[in-house]
Amino acid sequence: GQQLNQSPQSMFIQEGEDVSMNCTSSSIFNTWLWYKQDPGEGPVLLIALYKAGELTSNGRLTAQFGITRKDSFLNISASIPSDVGIYFCAGQASGGSNYKLTFGKGTLLTVNP
């Protein structure tokens, strides 16, 4: 099946720092999604990307759909303690089922106040 490589696996940063994480795939994706999961909760959709090169912001979050359609990144600016959680990328592969999402393994973000 499809594989998404998400990196880094974990990050420890100081409050106020910027954060960047990314997902890569060996195959082309039509859609990239970024989710955040807090402990004991379900993943919450942060940003959805549908076109190669698309750059979308949601507050302090910015995500881009890579030109090659094989990668995406998520940036968080001026991190705050409530940014702590696990961030997942997810994608829908080109040529695959139009409903099936492949998820990355997640990036665990810790923000020190």
Partner 1 sequence: DAGVIQSPRHEVTEMGQEVTLRCKPISGHNSLFWYRQTMMRGLELLIYFNNNVPIDDSGMPEDRFSAKMPNASFSTLKIQPSEPRDSAVYFCASSPTGRVLAFFGQGTRLTVV
Q: What is the DSSP letter of 82?
A: G
Q: Give the one residue of 106, 107, 109, 111 binding partner 1; rule: CB under 8 A.
A: 106
Shortest reach from residue 15's CB to partner 1, in Å: 27
Residues 1-30 that bind partner 1 (CB under 8 A): 30
Determine if 58 is a binding residue for partner 1 (CB under 8 A). no
Amino acid 24 reads: T
Contact present, 74 and 56 (Cβ < 8 Å): no
Of the pair 11, 101, the CB lying nearest partner 1 is at 101
Strands 19-24 and 5-7: antiparallel
Q: Name 34's Cβ contacts closer than 8 Å, sequence gap at least 6.
A: 45, 46, 47, 61, 63, 72, 74, 87, 88, 89, 90
Shortest reach from residue 95's CB to partner 1, in Å: 13
Segment near partner 1 (CB under 8 A), from 12-20, 43-51, 60-68, 71-79? 43-51
The binding site for partner 1 (CB under 8 A) comprises: 30-31, 33, 35, 40-45, 48, 88, 90, 92, 97-101, 103-106
